[in-house]
Structures are given as structure tokens and as C-alpha cells.
């Protein structure tokens, strides 16, 4: 049985950032050790209903364990970032990094980074590795999708029914405010659209040459273990978490941090 290790989270400085873009302001937050290691920071990409706040304790735990800065941001339309009203296009997963990474690097003076994402954010992390091979020194996916699977669509349809409840929408509004309806539509309507049915990460995966770690819960309700195996391919590492579902950063944050820490330590200096 996994036993959490003690972490001194008081040694982490938290800072909020606002970044101007053509579409509006992005909200970002960083967790920085007071005595960091000389190592690339980790940029976190959230899931389809996520935001900075919904990472919960994970960024602080990760910063403490790795002794390097952790940066998370709300995509436009989510969390505390400005609203948007357009529909997501078929390439929105891999295009997100192309649009956001240069802005984050410029605003926070980053020359290198590790890309890490949860669920659809994992696909965005892959996109970062493909688009910025010189800057991205590693890609970590957590419960990511590599293609449209029946289990993924079934999970989304179940969630669609659950969000018909005012209570569920109220919980979503707690994090996204008046943007909550757009956030839900951007997830459900995009993934259930017939034209999205043949979407895959394959093209981006072929362009990634940095080390890769694909983490997946054994009981993930939105995707089978075929996804991390496809993401890891022949050269990456696939790590399956037993008895864990779609949200390892909330279900077992200490274990998730340990898996990431062990993988990073194993990489060549």
C-alpha cells in the first residue's frame, strides 16, 4: 500500500499572473520553491471542465517534491480567464499549445519547460512537445485521450445527463462563473460532434522526440489503457495506476507526484 511521504509545502511561494492575448486575458498561477533546482519548470494543462483551482493541492505538492516551479493557467473561456463564445474547432487540442506556450514563456521568462496535462490537457501537452521540440524537455500525460473511443463517448453522455441537474451546473459555475454553460458545451458538443469522430493525436505524437510518460488510471471511466499505450508508443513510458479513475490528481495526488518524480529522476541529466 502506498504511504504518503511528508512534504514541507510551506517552502513554496504562490504567485498569480495575468497575461494579455488577442482574445482576452489569461489567468495563470505559479508555485515556486524558495530554493529551486536548476531544472525546467512544469507547465500544467487542465482538462475539459478544469481550471487552475481544480488542480487542488497537486501543483503545490509537485513543486515541493520536484524543487522546481509549477505553472498552471486557465485557458480562454475557463476559470478566471476571459470568456469566449466561439465553438472549438477539430484541431483545438494541439493548437492550444501553439497559441499559449509563447505567451506563457514570454510573460514568465521561460526558456525550457516540461509539459504536463490531464485528460484533454494531456493532448495539449503532446501538442507542446510536437510544436516546441527545442524548448519542451519532456511530456507527461495524465488520463489523456489519444483518439475517440466508445468508452470516452459513453462517459461524456453519462456526464451530459448528470449536468441536467441544477446542482451539477451550480458546482461548475463555482469555478467558471457565467462561463459555465460555454465550458460544458465546449466539452460535450465538441466530442459528440460527428466530424470529431475520427480525431486522433497520432500526427502530434509522431513529432514528439523528447521523453514521454503516459499515466492512466486502471478504472478510468473516460478511456481504456489503449490510450496511454498509444501515447507512450515504443519509446515512452506507460504507467497504469491500479484502482484509480479519471482524476489521479484528486484521487491519489501523493502517488501521482511520486510517479512523476521517479520518472524525472530516471531521465538522463
Q: What is the pTM of this model?
A: 0.95
What Cα–Cα distance (Å) separates residue 213 from each residue in 48, 104, 148, 268? 21, 23, 20, 14
| pLDDT interval class at 10 (50, 70, 90) | low
Residue 245, domain member (yes or no): yes
Residue 2, domain member (yes or no): no
For the chain, how many structural domains are there in total? 1
Residue 4, domain member (yes or no): no
Residue 20, domain member (yes or no): yes
Cβ proximity of 193 and 229 under 8 Å = no
Residue indicated by cell numbers 495524465: 142
Per-residue pLDDT reduced to its tens digit, 40-93: 999 999 999 999 999 999 999 999 999 999 999 999 999 999 999 999 999 999
Residue 188, domain member (yes or no): yes
| Cell digits of residue 238 | 506507460
Specify the CATH number for the domain of residue 203.
3.40.50.1820
What's the domain range around 189?
A: 9-266
Residue 70, domain member (yes or no): yes
Residue 3, domain member (yes or no): no
Amino acid at each position: 500500500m502506498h504511504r504518503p511521504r511528508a512534504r514541507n509545502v510551506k517552502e513554496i511561494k504562490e504567485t498569480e499572473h495575468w497575461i494579455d492575448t488577442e482574445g482576452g486575458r489569461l489567468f495563470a498561477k505559479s508555485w515556486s520553491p524558495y530554493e529551486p533546482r536548476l531544472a525546467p519548470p512544469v507547465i500544467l494543462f487542465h482538462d475539459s471542465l478544469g481550471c487552475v483551482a481544480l488542480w487542488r493541492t497537486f501543483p503545490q505538492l509537485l513543486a515541493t517534491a520536484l524543487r522546481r516551479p509549477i505553472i498552471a493557467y486557465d485557458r480562454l473561456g475557463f476559470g478566471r480567464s476571459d470568456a469566449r463564445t466561439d465553438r472549438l474547432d477539430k484541431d483545438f487540442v494541439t493548437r492550444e499549445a501553439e497559441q499559449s506556450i509563447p505567451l506563457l514563456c514570454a510573460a514568465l521568462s521561460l526558456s525550457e519547460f516540461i509539459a504536463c496535462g490531464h485528460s484533454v490537457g494531456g493532448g495539449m501537452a503532446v501538442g507542446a512537445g510536437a510544436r516546441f521540440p527545442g524548448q519542451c524537455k519532456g511530456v507527461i500525460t495524465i488520463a489523456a485521450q489519444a483518439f475517440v473511443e466508445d468508452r470516452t463517448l459513453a462517459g461524456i453522455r453519462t456526464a451530459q445527463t448528470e449536468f441536467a441537474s441544477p446542482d451539477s451546473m451550480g458546482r461548475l459555475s463555482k469555478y467558471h462563473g457565467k462561463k459555465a454553460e460555454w465550458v460544458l458545451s465546449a466539452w460535450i458538443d465538441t466530442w459528440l460532434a460527428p466530424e470529431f469522430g475520427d480525431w486522433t493525436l497520432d500526427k502530434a505524437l509522431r513529432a514528439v522526440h523528447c521523453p514521454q510518460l503516459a499515466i492512466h488510471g486502471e478504472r478510468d471511466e473516460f478511456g481504456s489503457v489503449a490510450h496511454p499505450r498509444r501515447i507512450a508508443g515504443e519509446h515512452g513510458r506507460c504507467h497504469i495506476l491500479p484502482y484509480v479513475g479519471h482524476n489521479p490528481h484528486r484521487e491519489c495526488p501523493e502517488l501521482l507526484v511520486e510517479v512523476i518524480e521517479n520518472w524525472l529522476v530516471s531521465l538522463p541529466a
